[in-house]
Amino acid sequence: MSKINVYGSFMQALLFSGSISVPKYFLSHYSELGLSNDEAMLIIHLLSETENQRSVDLEALAQRMNLDLTQVEKMLANLFKENLVSAEKRWNSSAKAWYNSYNFVGLIDELAELWAIEHVKQFEEVQSLANQDRSDISPSLERIVRSFEQELGRPLTEIECNFIRDWMSAHYSEELILEALKRGVSAGIRNFRYLDSILREWEKKGLRTREEVESDDAYFQARQENKGKTKTKTTRNIRSDKYENFYL
């Protein structure tokens, strides 16, 4: 057999003779279940036999693991005792016969509980850090954050909280920040960059309070109305002059 054929035959045997998927979570946490390396490897070997639909040959398995049969039987008995693995009979429909197999529901339950405990701890740590962050903020900032969350109907993100901190550091008053929020919501825009542009525009105009903002709005409205009146009056005069010249 040529070298190429040897390599190709090996790859075919490697890739198409079957494979087993071992959960990464099991590999990284089996020691926390009190399993030794040999016991974890035994479980992997038993998993590889589940699709064969025949009784597991423990003696052949012991040889593959380079262990004595008594060692494998002892480890298997310990897995039964810890309710991680259990024995059960299954029916081979092709061979019309029962065979001895293994059930791993106990192992799955233990891993699921371990996973749940980990995630509860992570959640508690995140909540603890969030509470610490909130305990460090000023009462004014706390009120603004609470008002925003009530208006938006959701908790603020860290980026949004940083926007508010920056506004307060720039000495925007609490009432001015809440007024910007009110106007953004009225316009149907809840983007914090939009609110930031409102506050910066007021800063350019030297507006520091809500009363000053409202006065500026009233002044702007009056100017717009005066422009409209002036334009109407000018149009009327042009039309009048036009017809006067026509009749001269």
Q: Which residues contact 61 (CB under 8 A, 6 or more apart)?
A: 42, 45, 46, 49, 72
pLDDT at 247 over 50: no
pLDDT for 59: 95
Q: Give the 3-state secondary structure percentages of the chain, helix then strand then coil, rounded to 5.
A: 70, 5, 25
Q: What is the pLDDT of residues 94-133, one digit of tens each?
A: 889 999 999 999 999 999 999 999 888 887 777 666 665 5
> Measured between alpha carbons, how far is residue 106 from residues 53, 112, 113, 222 in Å?
21, 10, 11, 78
> Measured between alpha carbons, how far is residue 248 from residues 154, 191, 236, 241, 244 in Å?
73, 62, 19, 11, 6
Q: Which residues contact 218 (CB under 8 A, 6 or more apart)?
A: none
pLDDT for 229: 64
Domains of the chain and CATH, by start: 3-111 (1.10.10.10), 138-226 (1.10.10.630)
Residue 86's φ and ψ, nearest 5 degrees, are -135, 155
0.85 surpassed by pTM: no
Mean pLDDT of the chain: 83
What whole-number percentage of the chain has pLDDT above 90? 35
